[in-house]
Amino acid sequence: MDKAKTIALNIAVAAVIAIIFLWANTLYRQHVQFDKGNQAFKAEDFTGAVAGYEAAIHMYTPGSSVVERSAERLWQLGTLMEQQRDTARALVAYRALRSSFYGVRWFAQPGKDWIAKCDARIAALVKLQGGR
């Protein structure tokens, strides 16, 4: 019986270590993608910025500030494009933000507030475009 307990304990410890490594790797990749988004944003590379921030959100980990900052940056890109009267790019940013959270699964749907805000902006912009 002691041998079975030892094996079970070893398996449990190995599983916990694997989960910690997976979580840490995901956080690291999240930061890398966020930094790529920031670099592209500074270089005025709209597509690169959207891709970086979107990828950071897709690597969702609960409680990560990077997810929230990426969402804020995508929203900022959308509003910036609206100010520049570039409706097509604004729609890209808002849709990327919305779809990023739809693509994330957790016990509850993350980003519900962002999804609702994006739905409202997208609807308004599509109406402004004439329903395209």
Q: Say whether 77 sits in a helix, a strand or coil.
A: helix
pLDDT in tens, 84-93: 999 999 999 9
| Of 100, 7, 88, 118, nearest in space to 56 by CA | 100
Residue 8 C-beta-side C-alpha neighbours within 13 Å? 5
- pLDDT level of residue 17 (50, 70, 90 thresholds): very high
Q: Is the pLDDT of residue 49 over 80?
A: yes
For residue 131, pLDDT beyond 70:
no
pLDDT for the residue 1 = 66
C-alpha angle 97-99-101 in degrees, rounded to nearest 5: 75
Domains identified in the chain and CATH numbers: 2-129 (1.25.40)
